[in-house]
Structure 1
Amino acid sequence: MSKGFKAHTDHLAQAAKEAHGHAEQVEHHSSNLDAKTRGRLLGKGKFGMIVQKAVRPIIDSMITDMSKSMARGHRSIGHGLDITRKNIDDAEEAIRKNLRRHQDDRDAIKLKVGQRALDEDALRDKYKQRVGQHVDDLRRQGHGPQRHLDPTDDMLKERLGQPSPVRDGNGNHLTDNDGNPRYHMQDGYIQTTDKIDPAHGPNAKERLGENAYMDAEDASKKHKCDSFSTSFGSGQHEAFTYADQHGRSRLDPSEQGRQVVSFSPEEAWGPGSHHERFRGFYIDPSNPMDHKTGNINYKPVDFAGAKIKAIYDPDGNGGHRLVTMFPEPVRGRNR
């Protein structure tokens, strides 16, 4: 390093993030242009056909060639900055190791102006920062963290929705032989409506009204959720990161389409009990509602024997993006 030079890896990370964002914007604009013009005539009559023949190749070239080239350029810059940041961090770690190795040596390494060796606290902070950056990247790839890491317990419960009553032709809520209200069931679990997508963020119902029930990634569809609403534990960013890394190690590079992998927590994190790293809820099948208070009766998920399920799609650059990842409990243990 030259005299007085000090690398700010935080700035490099921000610049890389912006470069990736520019690439996404270019791809988005290209997709919109393609959707609005593909297969449509640009004019009518004889003059229109002249315009069609003259302009159509230019538009198609912008969509298929120029836009892709620009997006690749931005992504290349972003990847280059990511690599540079990692190399600087690795160099700092190497300096730290050398200092430890020579701390009692008369020939100990002397840092030049601008070089710095991180202490234990600084290294720990740097590690947490890198984990956070990885999770942020996963948020851009899909909805894994938004639905299965970030939500509060209340948001997980809201995702389960409202129990769906069995009604007669007049709209009256039917009861069973014991006088208990009946609810629609499927495979032994309560069926629900009005499920709020955690990807909308906190207080979605207050902010979005009825739109909170729509899917955050596709506003034309109602949000869906299985009988269980599950998540990694609050603050388990490191566990989420290592689970993603293990999931990627299970991918088949020869497979061209979507890949779904399932593995045990022990495979990702090593031997031991890892149930405390998960949380989740389901509606009590035998007593879904407290009719005195009008509250839904939730039960905590038992994660004994649970697996981690991860879904990956090709990212268009020879790699894969994480669509989602979540803990999948054993149904037989949760009735």
Structure 2
Amino acid sequence: MSKGFRAHPDNLAKAAKDAHGHAERVERHSSNLDSKTRGRLLGKGRFGLVVEKAVRPIIDSMITDMSKAMARGHRSIGHGLDITKKNIDDAEEAIRKNMRRHHDERDAVHLKLGQRVLGEDDLRDKHKKRVGERVDDLRRQGHGPQRHLDPTDDMLKDRLGTPTGPKDVNGDLLKDDDGNPRIARQGGYVQTENKIDPVHGPNAKERLGEDAHLDAETGKKHKCDSFSTAFGEGQGEAFMHADEHARGRIDGDRTRMPNSNRHEVVFSPEDAWGPGDHSHRFRGFYIDPDNPMNPDKSINYKPVDFQQAKIKAIYAPDGNGGHKLVTMFPEPVRVFNR
């Protein structure tokens, strides 16, 4: 860094705040313009229809695509400035700690050109700590990590429950003419009962008994789709970046769920993490529709194929003008999982 330049953390913080503010204003103006123009003709009579066909696509593009791009650009600048300020603060704090450990200039560590205050291992540890702190914060906001990041593979399988169908007086599944259990299906997938909420933690059945089948948040019977999915082990950073991307796509009525104050954001993994195949970042199971039970009467699970999978995130108002993450999970394409 040249002697004529100094990055002032306070100025960086102000610039970051201004960038985030610009993004919010762009989004607000876009929403206001959309509400005032959508569904209204831009002119009257035959001439009005001509203007409508010629100009409406341009206006809609300005309201949606251009406004979103501008807002995302401002947010990206803001996030970059936030990270830069944090890194400078860390470096200065490391220098201060180092100087406090030495009594005079003779004992001080003199940095040479190209040397780092923090070693690579130190920087890596700091980054890992920040990721952990952010994921912990998301745990406090909702149940996203608890159900779709933290669980073991066995917990994901337990969440699917056990196959169900018509039963005899003893509660055992009735059998067909071939001696196989008559298992109920819906949409081609096995219907189940006794699903265990991963939020209860490991060995929930042993610790909680029948209460393990209750939803940890609502107290009602826990529900789960035909697929039990999660981010892969050690994918906390990927989870964090996916949340950051999804938050930037919350867009008023366009993402608001019907008759709700919640927002649903669905996006491709490459939108959050860049180009490439990211299926290795996910894991999950479902019960084999064609052969639900093994010969030893255990459940026959199949691993989920995450080809062309999306990520779905649900947000709710946090009471402070922002949003909290309720849940986020990978959503597989059914045609690849039959």
TM-score, normalising length: structure 1: 0.65
In structure 2, stretches of 5+ residues that fail to align are 1-81, 95-110
**Contact residue 158 and residue 195 of structure 1 kept, 8 A:** yes
Contact 1:167 1:173 in 2 (8 A): yes
CA distance in structure 2 between the partners assigned to 1:315 and 1:209 by the alignment: 34
1:169 positional shift: 7.5
Distance in 1, Cα, partners of 2:93 & 2:216: 45
- The residue type equivalent to 2:228 in the other structure is S
Q: Over residues 220-278 of structure 1, what are the superposed CA-to-partner deviations in whole Å (9 max), with x where a residue is unaligned?
A: x0000000000000110000000000000101257692100000110010011111000
Q: CA RMSD in A?
A: 2.7
Q: Which residue of 1 aligns with 2:138?
A: 138
**Does structure 1 conserve the Cα–Cα contact (< 8 Å) formed by 2:270 and 2:276?**
yes
- Look up the SS of the partner of 2:315 in the other structure: strand
The answer as to 2:126 corresponding to 1:126 is: yes
Match among 315, 326, 329 for residue 326 of structure 1: 329
Shift of 1:193: 0.5
Q: 2:188 corresponds to which residue?
A: 188
Q: Which amino acid aligns with 2:305?
A: D
Question: How many Å apart are 1:92 and its aligned residue?
Answer: 2.5
Over 3 Å counting, the alpha-carbon distance change for 1:130 and 1:86 in structure 2 is farther
Selected match of 2:89 from 76, 88, 91: 91
Query: In structure 1, what is the equivalent of residue 245 of structure 2?
Result: 246
* In 2: Cα distance, 1:170 partner to 1:91 partner: 67
Q: State the SS of the aligned residue for 2:277.
A: coil
How many Å separate the matches in 1 of 2:309 and 2:188? 19
Alpha-carbon distance in 1 for matches of 2:144, 2:155: 15
The answer (yes or no) to whether the contact 1:92–1:117 under 8 Å persists in 2 is: no
Letter in 2 for 1:139: R
Note if contact 1:95-1:117 (Cα within 8 Å) is conserved in structure 2: no
Equivalent in the alignment of 1:300:
303
**Higher mean displacement: 118-127 or 316-325:** 118-127
For residues 61-116 of structure 1, give each alpha carbon's deviation from its aligned partner in whole angstroms, at most 9, with x where no partner exists.
xxxxxxxxxxxxxxxxxxxxxxx9995654234799xxxxx9439xx9xxxxxxx9
Q: Quote the Cα distance in structure 2 between the aligned partners of 1:128 and 1:303.
A: 27
Using the TM superposition, give the Cα deviation of residue 287 of structure 1 relative to its aligned residue in structure 2, in angstroms. 1.1
Question: Which residue in the other structure is 2:221 paired with?
Answer: 222
Pair 264,171 (structure 1): closer, same or farther in 2 beyond 3 Å: same
SS in 1 for 2:138: helix
Unaligned runs of 5+ in 1: 1-83, 97-101, 109-115
Post-superposition shift, 1:157?
0.2
Aligned ranges 1:32-47 → 2 under 5 Å: none
**Structure 1 residue aligned with 2:207:** 207
- Aligned letter for 2:291? N
User: 2:265 aligns to what?
Assistant: 261
Instruction: Tell me if the contact between 2:164 and 2:173 (Cα under 8 Å) persists in the aligned partners.
Output: no
The residue aligned with 1:38 is none
| Percent of residue pairs identical | 65
CA distance in 1, matches of 2:158, 2:250: 33
Query: Which whole-Å CA distance do the structure 2 matches of 1:218 and 1:176 have between them?
Result: 37
Match of residue 285 from structure 2: 281
What CA deviation, in whole Å up to 9, does each residue of 1:98-142 have, x standing for no partner?
xxxx9439xx9xxxxxxx932211111000000000000000000
Say how many residue pairs are matched: 236
Note the alpha carbon deviations across 1:176-199, whole angstroms, 9 max, x for none.
454422101111001111000000
Matched residue, 1:9: none
Seen in structure 2, the aligned counterparts of structure 1 residues 251 and 86 have a Cα distance that, compared at 3 Å, is same
Residues of 2 paired with 1:227 and 1:165: CA distance?
Answer: 15
In the alignment, is the contact (CA less than 8 A) between 1:311 and 1:323 conserved in 2?
Answer: yes
